[in-house]
Amino acid sequence: MVSELGERRIIEILLESLDVMPSMTVPFGDDASAVDLGRERLAVIKTDMLVGKTDVPPGMSLRQAARKAVVMNISDLAAKGAKPVALLSSLALPRGFKEDEVREIGLGLNDGAREYEAYIMGGDTNEASDLIISCSVLGFCDKALFVKRSGAKPGDIVAVTGSFGKTASGLKILVEKLLVPIETRDPLIQAVLMPKARLKEGLALAQSGAVTSSIDSSDGLAWSLYELSKASNVGFLIEDIPIPWEVERFAENHNLDPVELGLYGGEEYELVVTVRPDLWNAARKAVGKFGTQLNKIGRVMEDREILLETEKGTIPMKVKGWEHFKT
């Protein structure tokens, strides 16, 4: 049963069934797929489905959920350096849904698209027991600028936009109904309810030519590092994980490990990239233009293992991440 197989094995089974397009520009399993348009341009496509039961935490409005369904897709294009232009949205609605709820979904879809200068251009409506918002996005980029997961080289700098742990903390607050002081609570909750895709940053990083591999952190930082290391056939030494003060304080008050919150959360749409050391300043500047910090978290190593520096010394990083069917 799929509940025993887990999502990653299911994807393997599906991939075994598929013919591979000859001269496919991007291999299966990257953040997005690409079709060569000729003249050095790519059409970049991605689909990602939001399921009410598993992907909408308590406290998230329908408008926010629909917006998030769009943002999830935009984030994948951001990681590849592709500019989203058009989105399609397939909905499944439970029978009991009301007119206002349908409108909320329409508004949320539009919010998500317009925030990133894209448009919802079509869709499809169906009936099902679960609420399902399945979006797909079409974007474009220069062939030379598309950033795969597979280009990291030993010696490259491992870097991330922003910081980690807010989403995992916010989700815990919402799910476990924790009482938290308002000045900590607000930013943590907002990270869950109104996630942002790092589109401008991703486009600028691709443009800078400094980035050798890239992924978004939607399955958690640890899992993203694992995927990058697998695709690039390298390892990482992770020296430092940027944890914001709200997460530090929340962890302290609730006897949690802030690094665990940073590594093993999910749906935190930061970019995890590797950067050529000689172009590190160019990469930092590219992201800094938008008021976003590009934080160095480690180094690319030859051996395919992920090591984490801690107060107790350097240890192998536990690899786990959000996986459907396994929870």
Name residues contacting a copy of itself, limited to 195-234 (CB under 8 A): none
Name residues contacting a copy of itself, limited to 86-125 (CB under 8 A): 86, 88-99, 102-103, 105-107, 109-110, 113-114, 119-125
**Strands 211-216 and 271-275, sheet pairing:** antiparallel
Q: Which is nearer to a copy of itself, 13 or 315 (CB)?
A: 13
Tell me the window of 3-11, 184-192, 229-237, 297-305 that interacts with a copy of itself (CB under 8 A): 3-11
Binding status of residue 252 toward a copy of itself by CB under 8 A: no
Q: Which is nearer to a copy of itself, 6 or 288 (CB)?
A: 6
Minimum Å gap between C-beta 57 and a copy of itself is 16
Both tokens of 193, joined, read: 């309810």
Contact 159, 228 (CB under 8 A): no
Minimum Å gap between C-beta 192 and a copy of itself is 19
Angle at CA of residue 284, ends 75 and 238, nearest 5°: 75
Q: Which is nearer to a copy of itself, 21 or 175 (CB)?
A: 21
Angle at CA of residue 131, ends 51 and 114, nearest 5°: 75
Q: Say which DSSP state 130 is in.
A: S
Minimum Å gap between C-beta 51 and a copy of itself is 5
Q: Where are the alpha helices (DSSP H) in the chain?
A: 2-5, 7-16, 52-55, 62-80, 99-115, 166-175, 182-193, 199-208, 221-232, 245-253, 258-264, 280-288
Contacts with 202 (C-beta within 8 Å, 6 or more apart), sequence order: 77, 78, 79, 80, 81, 214, 271
Minimum Å gap between C-beta 305 and a copy of itself is 28
Minimum Å gap between C-beta 149 and a copy of itself is 13
Sheet holding 157-161, edge to edge: 211-216, 271-275, 157-161, 294-301, 235-238, 306-310, 313-316
The residue count for binding a copy of itself (CB under 8 A) is 73
Q: How far is CA 153 from the centre of its chain?
A: 22
Q: Which is nearer to a copy of itself, 175 or 315 (CB)?
A: 175
Q: Which is nearer to a copy of itself, 5 or 282 (CB)?
A: 5
Q: Which is nearer to a copy of itself, 54 or 281 (CB)?
A: 54
Minimum Å gap between C-beta 180 and a copy of itself is 29
Name residues contacting a copy of itself, limited to 17-36 (CB under 8 A): 17-21, 24, 28, 32-33, 35
Q: Which is nearer to a copy of itself, 138 or 259 (CB)?
A: 138
Q: How far apart are CA 156 and CA 279, in angstroms?
A: 10
Q: Distances in Å between the alpha carbon of 75 and those of 45, 227, 304?
A: 12, 16, 27
Name residues contacting a copy of itself, limited to 118-177 (CB under 8 A): 119-130, 132, 134, 136, 138
